Amino acid sequence: MEAAPIPDDEERRLALLKACNIMFTPAEEAFDDVARLAADLCGTEIALITLVDSDYQWFKARVGVEQTGTSRDLSFCGHCINHRHPLIVEDTHADPRFSDNPLVTGEPHLRFYAGVPLEVESGSAVGAISVADRYPRTLSERQLEALRRLARQIARELRLRRDLDKAGGKVSGANLPLGPGAIVGDRWRIVRELGRGGTGAVFEARDADGERAAIKVLLPEWRANEQVVERFAREARVLMHITSPYVGKLFEVGNLDASQGGLPFLVLEYLEGTDLERVLEARGRIPFREAFNWCADACEGVAEAHDLGVIHRDIKPSNVFLAGYGGGGGGLVKVLDFGIAAGDPSGSAKLTANTIMGSPAYMAPEQMVSASDVDARSDIWSMGVTLYELVTGKLPFPGESDLQRFANVMTKSPTPIHAHLGDTPPAVEAVLHKCLRRERGDRYASMDVLATALREVASG
């Protein structure tokens, strides 16, 4: 038996594992579901989510084995974490690294192993997701890709846990040199700050003629973050090309003066009203005709983006604004926040298979595992989740964590609408469930087609 070599980045790897705060934690349904999903997709008797510390491999989730872990010396996973690619052992009896391993010669009598490293940071793996069997075999390319996708989702969950204490969900308190009266872009005078998000602050501004605008400014602590700056610029590039009345308008792009920090800014259409998330919070749920009409308008706005080759990737109630909404209905729909859109018209967006962007509760299955594997039908799924939530007041795939939502999306069907609402027209259920088909080819072909279906049901 050949002991697994120690990775060159062992010290960094162990620090990452410690920061994830997951070793020897209680069982979690989300991880168990993903392990079962791996076994089902790969057709194996055994599946494991394994974490490796300095001397032990521990199974966070396991299917088909009784052990909760083994020494690192016996670990197949110990070999796997040395690779940036899957480790596949088609027959352990024919591989001198494993032929006399006690896990091969005794329980669970492993003859086949396939593992994909869990890279929390590029090149540094804290463990692996693996499948195994008691007889020699291999995986198809499709099964191997499924295992890679599951590994990316688990790694994403681990990164979120690691980063939780760093961000703490707090809004930046950094000072911006843009108090009332400050001039932006030689035209706009700041009136007041409207609010802050994770990476930007928004101000109300007016020009000399009294025209109002919303000015979005990147927060200074993000200036050195290339990915955040690129998101900011991408939103500008996308909005420059869209003319739909159902998308918030962009008037100007620039950088603040050097005395103001030189930060990038966008001058956007000033909107008064509220977004669908707040409407839903106030009303509990929305009558389907009202919700369908609003979302049909949103579909038309997003359809223009799709025609330009742009996928929104973050459709959700908080990104659908109702300008002029008075509380009793009405309001002009405006789709907001194209900051993580894919395929912007300039062609300069850079995505990799390991990038995962969007809001997990609203993401299509294909988007959950790879930001580059999205198309118009991914946005249709997100619109379907939004519609379902508006009409029922519930998410179709709830979960206490992103990983749990992922497992639910991949393995379960949404609760039927009538279970929430009782007497619901079959056409309502049909539209929503067509949006939420796991295979994207079974969804509506385009946002225009979905908009037509929504208007037909709303007027029926």
- What are the residue numbers of the active site? 314
C-beta separation of 294 from 231 below 8 A: no
Contacts of residue 417, Cβ cutoff 8 Å, sequence gap at least 6: 388, 391, 392, 424, 428, 429, 432
The residue written with tokens 């850079």 in the block is: 350
- For strands 320-323 and 332-335, give the pairing: antiparallel
Exposed (0-12), middle (13-18) or buried (19+): which is 204, by Cβ within 10 Å? middle
Q: For residue 108, is the peptide bond before it cis, meaning its omega torsion is within 30 degrees of 0?
A: yes
CA 67 to chain centre: 33
CB of 340 within 8 A of CB of 314? yes
Strand 250-255 with 273-275, pairing: unpaired
| Distance of alpha carbon 272 from the chain centroid | 29
Q: In what order do the strands lie in the sheet with 273-275?
A: 273-275, 320-323, 332-335
The amino acid at residue 221 is E
> Which helix or strand (DSSP H or E) is residue 403 part of?
helix 402-411
Cα atoms in the Cβ-side hemisphere of radius 13 Å centred on 434:
16
Listed in order, strand segments (DSSP E) in 134-236 are: 183-184, 188-196, 200-206, 212-218
What pairing do the DSSP bridges indicate for beta strands 124-133 and 46-52? antiparallel
